[in-house]
Every structure is written in structure tokens, then in C-alpha cells.
């Protein structure tokens, strides 16, 4: 089901922008939160996660969890980082890890999370990262769409907009 909540649209112009935006969002994060990171390969999902993790006080280098189901990092909050790009990752998370993960403490960030949307609670922040179309250059710009789905994040909609502050583009659509 596609979320119908209002979206916040932002534009970042560098890796640092995307990390800073993610860092601002991490300041709003609470244990039990779920974020779905959606976007093509190279759009910036892992980059976003790195900024998010740093803001939680995680000093460890965050990389894509390619060979493990979920990586766990300890900061102000526990961070669970998943990537369900590959079919075997999807089936593994659906067969084994998901209920336990959703029950555990901390924040969950799932790259390609839209692939398992139907198995997730309807209560998450969707972070959509897209390249700018018709853009031969500069290649470092990304549109970042924030869609709060369900009560947890909708209650923080104003804070979300404030967190995206300097990168906001136009009114929510």
C-alpha cells in the first residue's frame, strides 16, 4: 500500500548534505522507530545511514550489510541496519529475522525496505532518495522525500520538516 501521508521534499547537493539531513532526523529518533530507505543503487541509502549513525554517536564505520542479515551498532540508541536488495536477503528476513527484529529495542533502518513493505507494520518513516532527472551535472544532487506513515512519525511531522529545514523544496505535496 502506498502511503498517502503528506510528503516533505528536500534537495541535497552533496554527500555531506545527505548525511547532515540524516543526522537531524536521527535526533528525532526513538527506540521502536522504523525507517524504510528507498531508492536506486547509488541513490544514497547507505550514505544516509552513515549520517544517521554518526548522529546517534556511533563511531564505527557503517557499511552495507551484505553478508549478514542485519548489522547492529550501539549508540544513543541501538541501530539495526538491514539491506534487502537481494531476493535471498528478502526471504531470509521474512522467514527468520523480522518478528524478532521488530520486537527488539532500537531503531531499524532498512535499505530497499519497500520490497518487504507488506510484512512491516504500517508505522514508519519512508525516506525516498532519487537522482535528479535530466541532469547531466552536477551529479551530486538528490531529491529526498520524507513520508511519515502511521502515528509514530506523523506525530513528528512538524519536527521532520524542521529537520529538513535548510534543504526543503517548496510546500509538502
> Scanning the structure block, which residue is given the C-alpha cell 541509502?
45
Q: Which of 10, 35, 38, 43 binds ligand ADP (CB under 6 A)?
A: 43
What mask, x for binding Mg ion by CB under 5 A, covers residues 24 to 63? ---------------------xx-----------------
Q: Which of 2, 4, 41, 95 binds ligand ADP (CB under 6 A)?
A: 41
- Dig out the grid coordinates for 101 from the structure: 527484529
Peptide bond into 97 cis (omega under 30): no
DSSP character for 76? S
Contact 10, 168 (CB under 8 A): yes
What mask, x for binding ligand ADP by CB under 6 A, covers residues 121 to 140? -------------------x
Binding of Mg ion by 142 (CB under 5 A): no
Q: Which of 7, 11, 64, 131 binds Mg ion (CB under 5 A)?
A: 64
The site for ligand ADP (CB under 6 A) is made up of 12, 14-15, 17-18, 39, 41-47, 111, 140, 142
Amino acid at each position: 500500500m502506498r502511503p498517502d501521508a503528506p510528503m516533505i521534499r528536500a534537495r541535497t547537493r552533496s554527500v555531506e548534505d545527505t548525511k547532515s539531513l540524516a543526522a537531524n532526523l536521527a535526533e528525532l529518533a526513538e527506540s521502536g522507530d522504523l525507517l524504510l530507505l528507498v531508492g536506486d543503487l547509488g541513490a544514497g541509502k547507505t550514505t544516509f545511514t552513515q549520517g544517521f549513525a554518526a548522529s546517534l554517536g556511533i563511531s564505527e564505520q557503517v557499511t552495507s550489510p551484505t553478508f549478514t542479515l542485519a548489522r547492529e551498532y550501539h549508540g544513543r540508541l541501538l541501530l539495526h541496519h538491514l539491506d534487502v536488495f537481494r531476493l535471498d536477503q528478502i526471504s531470509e528476513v521474512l522467514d527468520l529475522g523480522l518478528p524478532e527484529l521488530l520486537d527488539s529495542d532500537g531503531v531499524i533502518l532498512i535499505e530497499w525496505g519497500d520490497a518487504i513493505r507488506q510484512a512491516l507494520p504500517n508505522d514508519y518513516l519512508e525516506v525516498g532518495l532519487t537522482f535528479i532527472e535530466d541532469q547531466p551535472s552536477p551529479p551530486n544532487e538528490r531529491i529526498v522525500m520524507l513520508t511519515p506513515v502511521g502515528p509514530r512519525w506523523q506525530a513528528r511531522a512538524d519536527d521532520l520538516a524542521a529537520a529538513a529545514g535548510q534543504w526543503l523544496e517548496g510546500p509538502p505535496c
